[in-house]
Each structure stands twice: as structure tokens, then as C-alpha cells.
Amino acid sequence: MNADLIQTIAVYALPVLFAITLHEAAHGYVAKHFGDPTAFLMGRVTLNPLKHIDPIGTIVVPLALYFMTSGAFLFGYAKPVPVAFGSLRNPRVDTIWVALAGPVCNFVQAILWVLLGLGLQLAGVREPFFMMMAQAGLVVNLVMCMFNLFPVPPLDGGRVLVSLLPARAAYALSRVEPYGFFIVMALVVSGVLGRVWLWPLIQWGRDVIKWMLTPLLSLVS
């Protein structure tokens, strides 16, 4: 394991663990709030990352892709939080809130990582490692947020779209779910998803956060 890989893992480890753990816990917490305790009863509404890590999707796949593409392409996933959508008090509407909980949580985390970076600069801490970690936290969470909003089930954006569409169209889209992962992977590998969806939305997210934090950013400019 070379020094660059060790540094990359060290920089991204905490941001990735927080991004995955809080994303999944947020789904479970909001589901419980709206009447479905499935995730709570299974111990998935927790900040313990071990409950959410998928050995293949969270560790093996990202490392394999890192080596195969020389760090140019990374992708991973956690164990999905179990939600019995039919148990929600108002399944059609509440599903939207449950689905959005994860991406919204990631967007909030992106803001918090930027605030941490600004706080370090204002405190006179210029240690490159911590600044790189704050930047990694911003990028990781924006990627998770925008990727999961892609409107194909079983991604969160797909569940939102199914809940918003008329019954016939919603049923047709829901039937895509068993093949959704393969569709998304094909779009990722081909570069279409990144070019058309992911990178434009990540830039939009950066611009929104920059606008929100303009007064603080002016202090370190």
C-alpha cells in the first residue's frame, strides 16, 4: 500500500463514515417519526457505523475501483435501512420525507464540513491534513446527496418520483427497481450520469453553500 493511498484513506475515512452512517440513520429516524419502527427495532437508527457498513459495497468496491482506475473513479454504498413504506401513516406523502432524509442529511453535513474548515482557518490552524479532510467532507457529502437524488428507484430520488407521479406512471417506474442498480451503474461507468447529472448538481450545491456562507467566507478571503 503506497503512501498516496494511505493518505487518501486517512483523509476520507471520517467523512465517508459520517456521510454513510448519518445518511442511513436519518432514513430510519424519519421513518420511525412517520410510523414505521422497522429500522429502529433492527438497531439501524444508530450512529454506530458498523451497523451500516456493507463489507463489499463500503470497502471492497471502492478500493477495487481506486486501484483499477488509478483513483479516477470511486463508488460505494452502505446497507440500505429497512423501511416498510406501507406502515407509514400516509405512505404516499411520508415516503417522500423518508427518502429525502438521507440526501438532506448529507447536504447539512457538507455545510458543517465547510464551517469546520473555516473555523480552523479563523483559529490559525493551517495543518494541510485537516484542511484536506474538510474539503473531502464537502465533496463526499455532495456526491452522496446528489447521486442519491437521481430519479431511478431504488435510489432516494426514484422513490420521491414514484410518490409524486400519477398512479399508472408511478407503477411503471416502480417496476424498474429490480434493475435500477444496473441502470445506474451503466450510466456511471459510461460517464453519462456524471456529465449530465452529478457534476452539474455538485457545482450547484457548492454555489448554494458558498452563497449561504458568504459572510463567513469573507472573513478568510
Dump the DSSP string for 143-204: HHHHHHTSSSTTSHHHHHHHHHS-HHHHHHHHTTHHHHHHHHHHHHHHTHHIIIIIHHHHHH
- Does the pLDDT at position 72 exceed 60? no
- Does the pLDDT at position 1 exceed 60? no
Question: Could you identify the residue written with the cell 471492497?
Answer: 60
In contact, 99 and 156? CB cutoff 8 Å: yes
What is the arithmetic mean of pLDDT over 161-175? 95
pLDDT band at residue 50 under the 50/70/90 scheme = confident
- Does the pLDDT at position 69 exceed 70? no
Q: Is 153 exposed, middle or buried, given 0-12, 13-18 or 19+ CB atoms closer than 10 A?
A: buried
What is the arithmetic mean of pLDDT over 56-78? 68
DSSP 60-87: IHHHHHHHHTTTS------PPPP--GGG
Element (H, E) at 137: helix 128-148
pLDDT band at residue 63 under the 50/70/90 scheme = confident
pLDDT band at residue 33 under the 50/70/90 scheme = very high
pLDDT value, residue 8: 80
pLDDT value, residue 163: 95
pLDDT band at residue 49 under the 50/70/90 scheme = confident
Q: Does residue 24 carry a catalytic annotation?
A: yes
Q: Which residues contact 139 (CB under 8 A, 6 or more apart)?
A: 202
Cell of 161: 418520483
In contact, 67 and 8? CB cutoff 8 Å: no
User: Which pTM was predicted?
Assistant: 0.91
Q: Which of 129, 173, 144, 168 is nearest to 16 (CA)?
A: 144
Catalytic residue chosen out of the listed positions 18, 19, 23, 24: 24
